[in-house]
Amino acid sequence: MAKRLEGKVVVVTGGGGGIGRAVAVLSASEGAKIVVNDFSRGPDGSSAADKTVAEIMGSNSAAAANYDSVTSVAGGEKIIKSAIDAFGRVDVLVNCAGNDQRDPNLELSEEDWDRVIDVHLKGHFACAKAAIPHMIKQQGGRIINISSKGAFFSGSWAYGAAKAGVMGLTASMARQLAQYGITVNCILPSAVTPLFPHSRKSSGDGMPVVADLRPRPESIAPIIVYLASDEGKGINGRFFYSSGGDICVYAPPFTMSSANTFIRKTGEWTVDELSGILPPLAGA
């Protein structure tokens, strides 16, 4: 059976753990060559990026590690250069790098605000800015951004602002880059990860209570792999909630549409299942 990402080079920021690691591993299993970006290290000093790379290469797939920060344009350029140097191209960018704000909002320092905005919003911009010229030359590419329902329901001002900014950036990039065959979509995930070890039943947004109270990061990866594939080329500028077996295709912003489409299955979605379900729901 043909693999959906055969011959493609996928860059995953924050790929050392959580959702980023799950995306990197599943993308490799679908035939992609992976650049795993992560500067974090464990208590023993081991590199998170190296661990994911070793896992991928242990399955006879190709991967390379990058340790640069996403928080500057220079860092974004180095991350994408790692893909060009290792594999000669970049087809897919998945922006998974993230952090969080723990301090009370009224005590939030300028440094803490910048730390959150720089990783999330500026990080998405920096990596996309470096990747887009290569995608234009190749006449196509995929960018998948990670936002959050926390953009509107988080108690953290910095995190909410950053994630709302990612959604705005996604919409703007999608419109402007479509002419080059580049799609830009956004995932609003909910999963138990090292950054967010607790999962809530509801965030107060009227969505149905999640079926799986401890959804795995691996449950988010299939929809990202689908959007990264050639099958997903007709989907652009859309926002998807994903958690365990739950998916919501949000109505496009600033349109007359008033209804979101919510679907649920028992267990977690596979890429094969999504390939038959997402196109009509997303208007592809």
Query: What is the set of active-site residues?
Result: 159
> Residue 249 forms beta bridges with which residues?
240, 261
Both tokens of 123, joined, read 């990080």
Cα(230)–Cα(141) distance, integer angstroms: 9
Amino acid at 57: M
Residues 6+ apart with CB under 8 A from 169: 121, 124, 125, 128, 145
Cα(145)–Cα(120) distance, integer angstroms: 10
Residue 94 host element (H or E): strand 92-95
| Helix-then-strand count for the chain, H and E | 9, 9
Q: Output phi, psi for 56, to 5 deg.
A: -65, -45
> Residue 239 forms beta bridges with which residues?
186
